A and B are shown apart, each in its own frame.
Chain A
Amino acid sequence: METSTLSKLAVRVRYDILQMTTEAGSGHPTSSLSATDLLTGLFFGGTFRFDLHHPQDPCNDRIIFSKGHASPLFYALYEAAGILSQEDLMTYRAMGSPLEGHPTPRFPYAEAATGSLGQGLGIGVGIAMNARYIDKLPYNTYVLMGDSEVAEGSVWEAAELASQYKLDNLVGILDVNRLGQRGETMLDWELDAYEARFAAFGWHTIVLEDGHDLDAVQAAYREIDHACGRPTILIARTVKGKGVSFLENQDGWHGKTLSREQFDRAVVELGPVDLNLFGTIEPPVQTMPARWTPMPQVQATSPNALSTREAYGRALVDIAPSHPEMVVLDAEVSNSTFAATFGRAYPERFFEMYIAEQNMVSVALGLSTRGRVPFVSTFAAFLSRAFDQVRMAQYAMDRANIKFTGSHAGVSIGADGPSQMGLEDIAMFRTLVDSVVLYPADDVSTAALVRLMADHHGICYMRTTREALPRLYQEGDAFTIGGSRTLSRSDDDRVTLVGAGITLHEALKAAETLAASGINARVIDLYSIKPLDIATLRTAAAETAAIITIEDHYAEGGIGEAVAAALSDVATPVFSLAVRKLPMSGKPDELLAYEEIDASAIVRRVQEL
């Protein structure tokens, strides 16, 4: 396309940006205007290849607006491409409109939800990895980033991994407009400093002194080398508010819209707007994605009970032949989480994410948007640093089909001490809309629950235990999401003990002790913490005098609160035994006793009733 035509399209895009934000009365027009020429050039200059009528075509290039607040630009591009109408743009930010304040897949051209800064590059890495290593397709992935957001460490985690995996199909576009939300960025317009950093991280760098010169923009895109073995970053000096004199490079205009009067003045400055001029996007190169047909691998059944983490690794291997969409990611602790078991069996579907949990979650989301089913593991404790990424994944809605597993849950890990103990994970994952939270107590149920997670579409979390636990179940015992299993019951149960994972075993021991002194206790394995088996809990509440929950997790947001909330309308009291003191190093049994979640503590609690 001629540069003169691209210029006219850029005017139209700018007009749309101002029009929709003025109409909405909120939004980020200036952050959109700075990147307008870069993106108009990308979309309509022949670089970006996309079938607008089939947004899920596996061969399409992908674009992520990591600076999600530039959503007006994002939508304006699709208006200029003829996918959205002027009327559609007028719904921007209105309740029920797919054109949300920050992009979500309610607008189907948004690959994932963005708007929490610093996450788009990691999502792009996942999508690019899918192209390179899984689908083996020639599509490219573009990520628009703001200069402010590269202060987020997650950007550098992604930069490092992209380089490690030689993702030369990944292109970052850095919109260096110098101004953040409240003033100058750390590096102002120091393009050299950005270049040095990305170059040191192994990226091919292209510096664009004027990100508004469309000839130069087009030349920069032509300079990208998709066979150089390195990802490319286009570092462009831009002007925030470009195109409107009273907005250009002015502090104080971030996230602020024009009044009607200011809008009218701005439109005059833009010059003639041709609403009959549409941009065209090149179609993708059509090829077939590669198929993966994993051969079943025989694993000798273990006569002895395995730890649930070990059972997790074996279960991943077992389900692979029936789940060819699965991929396994781990943050450099796969020998502890036992994801390594899968890695050894199917190295082509195991991806090391190194000690960078935030990026691991974003990569998983990227893979998931391309139809993969990522199984993501690390210590439960370390998933907490990636919770923003997990939180954002839920806003990708049905595109986030990710299975998280946190190992080393609870104080029962022992000697390594509190920094390694996952004690908040149940609470975190319970907060997600429509999430599933599972907690197996032995190796047989672990295998069953891994299969359930794989077959359930959505975000699932499973916590596993470091210690080997006795086997409770037999092959073929039934488990369901939202189910439970009652391991001990009689017609004369006085109290109900609800445990999961390691505390279930403590509850069983306590029930034995209590039985010896003539008190029958019902014991429920609450392996599905969300959703809860409310029917079984209600029956127990009706048939016994009290319910005691026992969990190796902090009290807040854990099993006790989940059960208490579910039974808030019944009179039977719910008592919670949970981790309430700051834990320390020690042996597992010493710590369970210290936190009063072991069998003796349960017996004492029952006797107090």
Chain B
Amino acid sequence: MEHDYSIAELKHLATEIRKDTLRSITAAGSGHPGGSLSAADIMTALYFQVANLKTPTDPDRDRIFWSKGHIAPLLYTLLAYKGFFPREELITLRKFGSRLQGHPKKDSPPGVETSTGSLGQGLSVAVGCAYAARYDHSPVRVWCLNGDGELQEGQIWEALMAGAHFKLDNLCTIIDNNGLQIDGKVADVMDLGDLAAKVRAFGWHVIEIDGHDMQQCVNALEEAKTVKGQPTAIIAHTIKGKGVSFMEDQAGWHGKAPSQDELAQALRELDGEEGE
């Protein structure tokens, strides 16, 4: 364990991060709130508890790749909360000249490890990075965040094959299994079948968790560090739009910014949830 937050502290942090994520999307007038909220808990656990990530330039830092690049707003908020750049900058999201691009660009802001946004490519980059770390006998661990929709890209399965073939036990990918993509439920749109069986058949250690249970998130990420001889995939069962009643499990909130009124209601709900 790299840091020592209590589960309650992590949950509080995740709520604040959700709020600032939504504020930045509202300020931008466009962006992807649904997927940002579904991945917020496990990524908070990763950035603030499990990953070795003190500064964005430490050569021995863990590397975290965001293959589902469209939830850049969550990434930026996490990096701001890590202190890698000023939080005030979050509201420049998607503005001309801002470092906070619609989809992530490497080192813009500090802490973005690679440019993504064309789905299905991030895991391959992570495989290359993990392979290099292994080759260098480096302690660096490599993490990746995948959406469930992008698993339809064949390149993901190429990366899974390579990760297992090279026995990259310093690599863990988190699959944000929120069950929705642009057009509707992934299962309606495309029945992924038994996802765990598929990933296992491709040679990965699989852990399935409730991606909104902070303790399970921390435990799964820690377990990934102990696996030997194969990479790990954490299938985090999540809810798109988690934490905001009118966004939860609604495909319509895939790529739509909340209005000021909707933001106000969302913030109230998130604060209320905190109070409970």
Contacts and interface: CB of A to CB of B under 8 A. Distances in A.
A197 B101 contact: no
Interface string A167-203: 0000000000000000000100000010011011110
Name, among A196, A334, A355, the residue most crowded by chain B CB atoms within 10 Å (CB to CB).
A355
A555 B156 CA distance: 31
Given A152-B158, A333-B182, A417 B201 contact: no
7 closest Cβ pairs, A-B complex: A153-B154, A419-B117, A586-B96, A417-B102, A196-B201, A156-B157, A157-B154
A332 B149 contact: yes
A157 B96 contact: no
B157 A585 contact: no
Contacts of B101: 417-418, 584-585
Interface stretch (B2-10, B192-200, B219-227, B265-273): B192-200
B189 A332 contact: yes
24 contacts: A153-B154, A156-B157, A157-B154, A160-B190, A200-B201, A332-B149, A332-B182, A352-B189, A354-B190, A355-B149, A355-B153, A356-B152, A385-B118, A415-B29, A415-B30, A416-B30, A417-B102, A418-B117, A419-B118, A585-B95, A585-B96, A585-B101, A585-B102, A586-B94
Contact of A586 (B97, B154, B191): B97
Contacts of B117: 416-420
B96 A164 contact: no
B154 A154 contact: yes
B170 interface: no
A346 interface: no
A43 B117 CA distance: 46
Given A186-B165, A200-B201, A420-B103, A358 B154 contact: yes
A419 B103 contact: yes
- B150, B153, B182, B198: most-surrounded residue (chain A CB, <10 A): B153
Interface string B62-93: 00000001000000000000000000000000
B28 interface: yes
Interface of B: 28-30, 69, 94-98, 100-103, 105, 115-120, 149-150, 152-158, 161, 165, 181-183, 189-191, 193-194, 197-198, 200-203
- Chain B interface mostly: loop
Nearest to A196: B201
A604 to B, nearest CB: 20
Contacts of A591: 96
A71 B10 CA distance: 60
B96 A200 contact: no
Contacts of A193: 201, 203
Contacts of A196: 197, 200-201
Contact of A355 (B30, B119, B200, B203): B119
A270 B153 CA distance: 44
B40 to A, nearest CB: 21
Interface of A: 151-157, 160, 163-164, 186, 193, 196-197, 199-202, 332-336, 352, 354-359, 381-382, 385, 415-420, 584-587, 590-591, 594
Contacts of B95: 585-586
A218 B50 CA distance: 55
Nearest to A583: B101
Contacts of A358: 154
**Residue of A152, A354, A419, A587 most packed against chain B (CB within 10 A):** A419
B204 to A, nearest CB: 12
Nearest to A336: B182
A334 B182 CA distance: 9
Contact of A157 (B102, B152, B202, B203): B152
A590 B94 CA distance: 12
Contacts of B202: 197
A355 B118 contact: no
B140 to A, nearest CB: 25
A156 B101 CA distance: 32
Nearest to B195: A200
B155 to A, nearest CB: 5
A209 B84 CA distance: 57
A417 B105 CA distance: 9
Given A199-B201, A201-B198, A153 B158 contact: yes
A350 to B, nearest CB: 12
B92 to A, nearest CB: 10
A157 B157 CA distance: 9
Contacts of A381: 118
Contact of B94 (A152, A359, A585): A585
A455 B98 CA distance: 46
Nearest to A594: B96
A184 to B, nearest CB: 11
B28 A415 contact: yes
A421 to B, nearest CB: 10
